[in-house]
Structure 1
Amino acid sequence: MTAAAGGCQDSSYKQNGMQSKSNGNHGGNGNYVCFEMPLHYPRYKKEDYEAMPEWQLDCLLKQYGLPVMGDIADKRNFAMGAFLWPSEINNK
């Protein structure tokens, strides 16, 4: 993952083409809404999250629609809790 002009860039992140019509409860103007989802679950280890720079944690959390709040320790703990199995977090 690399930073590009103040934003996140990841080749595994792309629009999957799913669309749904507005049902009237969300604006009701008949516009289509595109759902975007990263194609792969992150494959980082605990050590990777511990060494990951803050900008990369921000990008990762944003890609999965997760909150990007708190200091870097909060973000690391949140990312590890979201993406690692409990046995991986407590290992070491």
Structure 2
Amino acid sequence: MSTAGTGFSNPAFTMPGGLQVNEQTSKNNTPSNFQMPLHYPRYQKSDYESMPEWKLDCLMKQYGLPVIGDVNQKRKFAMGAFLWPSQYE
């Protein structure tokens, strides 16, 4: 694994673009593999309203959010999580 140009000498994980992240542990010393996605979703309310369930599931898994409930509950949760209040109304 190359670290040229990154300034890190002991990487634990390399993300696309050369950003390196060290693995962190939680309070009970279990490894955490959470990765913050590089981009915030850019969907509108109408996109969430017509988004298929499998795509909602993928989106929420990508952001580490719960994937429970029926498709309408998932849509409502995604809109609440990713839309500003003015976009949600």
Does TM, scored on the shorter chain, surpass 0.5? Answer: yes
Which residue is equivalent to 2:79? 80
Report the secondary structure of 1:40's partner residue: coil
Unaligned runs of 5+ in 2: 1-13
- Identify which of structures 1 and 2 has the higher relative contact order when contacts are C-alpha pairs closer than 8 Å and 6+ apart: 1
Q: Distance in 1 between matches of 2:27 and 2:76?
A: 39
* Contact persistence 1:19–1:33 (CA under 8 A): no
2:40 is the counterpart of 1:41:
yes
| Deviating 4+ runs (over 4 angstroms) | 21-25, 32-35
The structure that has the greater radius of gyration is 2
Aligned residues: 73
The verdict on how the C-alpha distance between 1:66 and 1:34 changes in structure 2, with shifts beyond 3 A counting, is closer
| Identical aligned residues as a percent | 59
TM-score normalised over the length of structure 1: 0.67
Unaligned runs of 5+ in 1: 1-13
